[in-house]
Amino acid sequence: MRLDRFLCELNIGSRNQVKALIRQGTVTVTGVPATSPETKVDPFRDEIAFRGEKLHYRKFVYYMLNKPEGVVSASRDDRERTVVSLLGRDAREDIFPAGRLDKDVTGFLLLTNDGELAHRLLSPKRHVDKTYLAVLEHGLSEEDIHRLESGLDIGEERPTLPCKVRVLEEKQGKHAILLTLHEGKFHQVKRMLQAVDNQVVRLKRIAFGGLQLDPLLEPGEYRELTDRELEILKAGSTGCQAAEEEGTESGESV
């Protein structure tokens, strides 16, 4: 790998900026100041330092983000603030959101540069669980719940797959449910509730692929996945039931 590319991927600066930094002698490779941006380095074997601080390269990174409202699920956008921009200095050029949440939807979004894993998680054939906390315009009847859980017509070629609905205790006149899906059609949760003559007032994804959104993450905050969480995600775990149970006790304001 070229040295300037290595530095760009670690978000040291733009391509032009890192070239200038290299020529200024601020970067060393195995203790020797580098002078050429084209210097070939092995990111896993060579000791590379910037201004005396050793740099650590990882091929793939995985971040759990608590997406806030008003931010678009994209790597770049000419007009809107993106979820990748929330990573600050961790925002490598190759990072992207694995899937999308609407601009007004909050909660768990995976940010990574592992395209293969993202493809597996988003593949319709995998049926990866996604659990949402939805505040509704009004309560659901038993018939509504049955229709949602059995699959219903939302204007697609096929009905939605069977899902799981859990009605939460009404608080201060607000009606809320936990809805676990195994697919990800466009605006699916909103369209499903509209199909039973209801409306989503607020929507938050609290679990994805067997992982629960960390309750310590405030909107806009993120953290790296632990090794165990990454194992669960890679195994295609569907342990959203446990995530649902924990989510109802995590102080969610519904």
Active-site positions? 102
Separation of alpha carbons 161 and 181, rounded Å? 8
CB-based burial label for 77 (10 Å; 0-12, 13-18, 19+): middle
Cβ atoms 226, 233 nearer than 8 A: no
- Dihedral sign for Cα atoms in the order 58, 63, 68, 70: positive
Return the closest-CA partner of residue 203 out of 215, 190, 216, 194. 190
Separation of alpha carbons 215 and 233, rounded Å? 18
Angle of CA points 118, 120, 121, to nearest 5°? 65
The partner residues of 181 in beta bridges, in order of sequence, read 130
> To which residue do tokens 């039931």 refer?
241
Q: What 3-state DSSP class applies to 98?
A: coil
